[in-house]
Amino acid sequence: MTSRNERAEALRALLNPHDPAIAMAAHNPLAAKLAAEAGFAAIWGSGFELSASYAVPDASILPMGTHLEMIRSMGEVQDTPIVADIDTGFGNAVNVAYAVPRYAAAGVAAVVLEDKTFPKDSSLRPGGRQELVPAGEFQGKIEAARAHGGMLVIARTEALIAGQGEAEALRRGAAYAEAGADAVLIHSKSKSPEEILSFCRAWDGRVPLVLVPTSYPQLSFKDVAALGKVGLVICGNHAIRAAVAAMRDTFRRIREEGGIAAVEGRIASVAEIFALQGDDALRGLERDFLR
Q: Which residues are catalytic?
A: 58
Contacts of 252 (CB under 8 A, 6+ apart): none
Calpha distance 74→30 (Å, rounded)? 8
Taking CA 8 as the corner, what is the angle to CA 3 and CA 10, rounded to the nearest 5 degrees? 90
| Residue 186 Cα to chain centre, angstroms | 13
Beta bridge partners of 191: none
Q: Residue 81, class by beta-carbon neighbours within 10 Å (0-12 exposed, 13-18 middle, 19+ buried)?
A: buried
Calpha distance 47→98 (Å, rounded)? 18
Calpha distance 62→56 (Å, rounded)? 8
Q: Three-class SS of residue 211? A: strand
C-beta neighbour count of 76 within 10 angstroms: 12
In this structure, which amino acid lies at residue 245?
A
Calpha distance 98→142 (Å, rounded)? 13
C-alpha radius of gyration, the chain, whole number? 20
In this structure, which amino acid lies at residue 108?
V
